[in-house]
Amino acid sequence: MLLPRPTHLIREAGHFALDAATSVCAPVGVADLLRELLTPATGLPLPPVGAPGEGVISLLVRDDPELGAEGYRLRVDPAGVRAVAAAEAGLRWAVQTLRQLLPEQVYAAGPVTGVPWRLPMVEIVDVPAYPWRGSLLDVARWCHPLPLLYRYVDVLAMHKLNTLHLHLTDDQGWRFEVRRYPRLTEVGGFRVASPAGHLRDGRSDGVPHGGWYRQAELRDLVAYAARRGVRIMPEIDLPGHAQAAIAAYPEFGNDPTRQLAVGTTWGISTHVLNLEPATLAAVHHILDEVVEVFPFEYVHVGGDEVPTAEWAANPAAVARATELGLPRVADLQGWWTGRLAEHLAGHGRRTAVWDELLDRGAPAGATVFAWRGIDRIDAARAAGLPVVAAPYSHTYFDWAESDDPAEPLAIAGVLPLRTVYGFQPGDVLGVQGQLWSEYLPTEQRVWWRAFPRLAALAEVGWSGPVPTDDTGAVPPGVWAEFRSRLTGQLRRLDRAGVSYRPPDD
Ligand code: ACM
């Protein structure tokens, strides 16, 4: 019934019935979350009470080394509910579990009558397999509206996914307000057209698109996510995938006399930031504003798909490579990203990068997001760097779920649900599912591609990889058990008003 599957679960006969007298003994933020999640559908007030006891839902922080940073123990019996965790983070996941234990109508946004709000009697111990359980949402290619971002956070928390990686900038749009450089959004946030159909068709829709988020809006989103135990990692993609920034500030590019437009086609722009001290200083200023808005320890500075032709043709860049003793102009990327990492370290932050940096001098201590295949996970580990497993082969949910021609337009590739569920990430910091949004212009499309695959990846991240057979396939019994719980989870999504692609089997 629970998804992700808990580490240990014993179901006993009996239940605890919630009613108007049920009260809550918990740290304020956790009690607030419980009410925020249960009261709209149940109508129950769930008032605070000072001590655990009969008829009380108690959620308490207790020293317990077995539970780690996010684990919890939960017991439901006819007298009440008692959950303990070593930190509030674990209690927040216990709240999500309690919600899943209730009838699925609890996910409705408004009051539901005639439902017995009963929790089955259970004993649960639940500790995540991986500390990083993420989901990337690309809001650069299409500026998804804030209400979608709020719903997205809700749904991540439902699946005990703890990190939203917001891809905020790219060639086709800059969505993060920077007070010091207002043109980044005023100019870089808007493009005159987007591809119609697939990029390879070479057609344009001729329709302007744009938008950006105010810092205040993002702060509110960050706070909302934090109440649910979801951290938001911003990504400012640098020094490539930065054409929108160069369109806004031509002096950031390699030919300051050239006025570029914000990108109107997908793919990889050949235009990248220059490596001049003034541009580096500007990027530092931008990151200063990023860390003000996003308190999470990690800041992602991109680094994927950076063409170097402009540097190779730029005498200043070539001279810098020589002066630094770098064998290749491409190695300038590692040197330059190292300067960003130092700057972020000065703010007490850690730097995250895409795996291309492994080939160009990844900054010491950077966390590598391995996307170009399973071997990139091994390469990051061999380099002694922490790694988040994000390979396209198992985690690129912008790929179609099947090869059925009726699938909505996808960027490339096919990634079936079973492949996701069979993913073996290995010894890594965690896993992350990617929703690049070139072909996800609407909320409907975002959900279609996200679910159910993100539910499968959430289970890999929380419950750990499932055993697979000699061919790497998920054994039928293991699959059937997951599928039956997935059916229950999809009913919860139905109630929450979140759509998804119906699973094939
Ligand atoms: C990527 O897919 N370019 C990280």
For residue 354 and ligand 1, the question of a CB distance below 6 A is answered with yes
pLDDT reported for residue 505: 76
pLDDT digits (tens, 9 = 90+) for 259-305: 999 999 999 999 999 999 999 999 999 999 999 999 999 999 999 99
Q: How many beta carbons lie within 10 A of that of residue 263, not counting itself? A: 25
Burial of 262 (0-12, 13-18, 19+ CB in 10 A): buried
Q: Is it the case that residue 449 has pLDDT exceeding 80?
A: yes
DSSP letter string, 172-209: TEE-B--TT-THHHHTTTEES--EES-GGGTEE----E
Q: Do 368 and 358 contact (CB within 8 A), yes or no?
A: yes
Angle at 55 between CA 81 and CA 38, to 5 degrees: 65
Distance of CA 171 to the CA centre of its chain: 20
pLDDT reported for residue 472: 87
Residue type, 161: L
469 is catalytic: no
Point out the catalytic residue in the list 241, 271, 300, 394.
241
pLDDT reported for residue 134: 98
Q: How far apart are CA 314 and CA 260, in angstroms?
A: 17
Q: Do 432 and 136 contact (CB within 8 A), yes or no?
A: yes
What average pLDDT does this structure show over 481-504?
A: 98
pLDDT reported for residue 316: 96
Q: How many beta carbons lie within 10 A of that of residue 327, not counting itself? A: 7
170 is catalytic: yes
- Angstrom CA distances, 243 to 110, 254, 266, 411, stand at 44, 11, 12, 20
- Ligand 1: centre distance to CA 148 (Å): 22
Point out the catalytic residue in the list 70, 104, 154, 170.
170
pLDDT digits (tens, 9 = 90+) for 225-269: 999 999 999 999 999 999 999 999 999 999 999 999 999 999 999
Prediction pTM value: 0.98
Q: Is the peptide bond before 239 cis (omega within 30 degrees of 0)?
A: yes
Q: Is it the case that residue 20 has pLDDT exceeding 90?
A: yes
pLDDT reported for residue 285: 98
Q: Is 352 helix (H, G, I), strand (E, B) or coil?
A: strand
pLDDT digits (tens, 9 = 90+) for 170-228: 999 999 999 999 999 999 999 999 999 999 999 999 999 999 999 999 999 999 999 99
Q: Which of 271, 266, 270, 267 is nearest to 256 (CA)?
A: 271
Q: How far apart are CA 498 and CA 476, in angstroms?
A: 28
| Residues in contact with 441: Cβ distance below 8 Å, sequence separation at least 6, in sequence order | 142, 194
Q: Do 455 and 5 contact (CB within 8 A), yes or no?
A: no
- Ligand 1: centre distance to CA 103 (Å): 39
- DSSP letter at 405 equals T
pLDDT reported for residue 124: 98
Closest residue CA from atom 2 of ligand 1: 371
